[in-house]
Amino acid sequence: MFDKDRFVDDRSLSLSIKNKGLNYGLGCIEGIRAFWNKEQKQLFVFRLDDHFKRFHGSGKSLYIPIPYSIDQLSEITRQLLLINQVTQDVYIRPLCFKGANTLRPDLNDPLNHLAIYLDLTEYEPKPSINVCVSSWTRVGSNMIPPQTKSTAGYLNSGLAINEAMLNGYDGALFLTREGNVSEGATNNLFIVRGYEVVTPPVSDDILPGITRNTVAQIVYRELGLSMREQSITRVELYEADEVFLTGTAIGIKPVVEIDRRMIGNGKIGPITQKIQKAYDQIVRGEMSSYISYYTSVY
Ligand code: PMP
């Protein structure tokens, strides 16, 4: 379906410094992961269709229509993984951006470039993190819509991450303009209170995360509990029994300290631990009841 010569070494690419997507952040992205299963010698891409559906949604809302169908994008991704003979966990980044080299930051030009690249960096993640509530507010849904993965929106995340790091925290949480808890700089947020698992609704200026949705399935199917979407106040954060963040890159990440206040007993909580264990098995293709979530590469 696609010419082999469309798969190129990224060092051979060039882009005009006049490119409008680059100058104004007029683009949208996705973040997908594939997981290597050693026993089955198989690479499983996790919820590929759902990621590309969200990609198309972002493109539609932002006037950056993605120039390929969901099926075509899935096939390009599979070919990219095959050509690179990937046999390890890998992060996949689709990017679509405005192609014109004109000054006006309008979104009318029909030329939208698509690129998909791989990031094979392996890092040793911390088992749990301490975070702060950022002095930066989450961009509102009527500003740069956080329900889309717009490239411009990541400046909001970047400011919060930098401030947090400069102040000695591992990450940052955003509040909305109304003061409700929104989400992490690049992750969704959950709190656990007794047997209640609560997460902010999409209307509290969050990205509807695919990991967040997977957690809803785990909470219901594996723990026999239900996930509640409900606005969360800052104090409810501090007083929660457990807090965790979710995202494609980090999976399920326990938060044990917020604004120098210990969460629960300062250790990874039992419900977080159960969700984390189920999630790690699901993404690696070890739970057959979630078969519809996988795309096998080999
Ligand atoms: N919120 C933001 C702002 C993000 O950048 C991400 C990462 N894509 C998430 C939430 C988590 O979304 P997902 O679980 O789909 O990776």
Kindly indicate the confidence band of residue 5, based on its pLDDT and cuts at 50, 70 and 90.
confident
DSSP string of 240-284, one letter each residue: -SEEEEEETTTEEEEEEEETTEE-TTSS--HHHHHHHHHHHHHHT
Residue 124 pLDDT > 90: no
What does the alpha-carbon distance between residue 293 and residue 50 come to, in Å, rounded to a whole number?
9
pLDDT tens figures, 225-243: 989 999 999 999 999 999 9
149 noted as active-site residue:
yes
Atom of ligand 1 nearest to the CA of 157: 3
List the catalytic residue out of 20, 98, 149, 253.
149
- Mean pLDDT to the nearest integer, 105-118: 95
Q: 35: helix, coil or strand?
A: strand
210 residue type, one letter: I
pLDDT digits (tens, 9 = 90+) for 19-47: 999 999 999 999 999 999 999 999 999 99
Ligand 1: residue of 50, 176, 187 to mutate (most ligand atoms within 8 A of CB) is 187
Residue nearest to atom 1 of ligand 1 (CA): 187
Residue 1 confidence (pLDDT): 59
The topology under which CATH files domain 129-283 is D-amino Acid Aminotransferase; Chain A, domain 2 (3.20.10)
Measured from CB, residues less than 6 Å from any atom of ligand 1 are 31, 157, 183, 186-188, 207, 209-212, 246-248
Say if residue 194's pLDDT is above 70.
yes
What residues contact 5, with CB distance under 8 A and at least 6 apart?
Answer: none
Amino acid at 171: G
The band of 131, judged by pLDDT with boundaries at 50, 70 and 90, is very high
Average pLDDT rounded to a whole number, residues 3-7? 84
Q: What mean pLDDT is reported for the chain?
A: 96
Residue 63: pLDDT band by 50, 70, 90 thresholds?
very high
Confidence of residue 223 (pLDDT cuts 50, 70, 90): very high
172 Cα–ligand 1 center, Å: 14
In the prediction, which pLDDT does 197 show?
A: 98
DSSP element (H, E) containing 98? strand 90-98
Task: Give the start-to-end residue ranges of the domains of the chain.
Answer: 10-119, 129-283
Share of the chain above pLDDT 90, in %: 96
Q: What number is the average pLDDT over the span 199-226? A: 97
Average pLDDT over residues 146-155: 98
Span 158-180, average pLDDT: 98
**Ligand 1 atom with minimal separation from the 54 CA:** 15
* Residue among 57, 62, 61 at smallest CA distance from 24: 62
d(CA 226, CA 274): 14
Closest C-alpha to ligand 1, atom 2:
186
Q: What class, spelled out in words, does domain 10-119 have in CATH?
A: alpha beta
pTM for this model (two decimals): 0.97
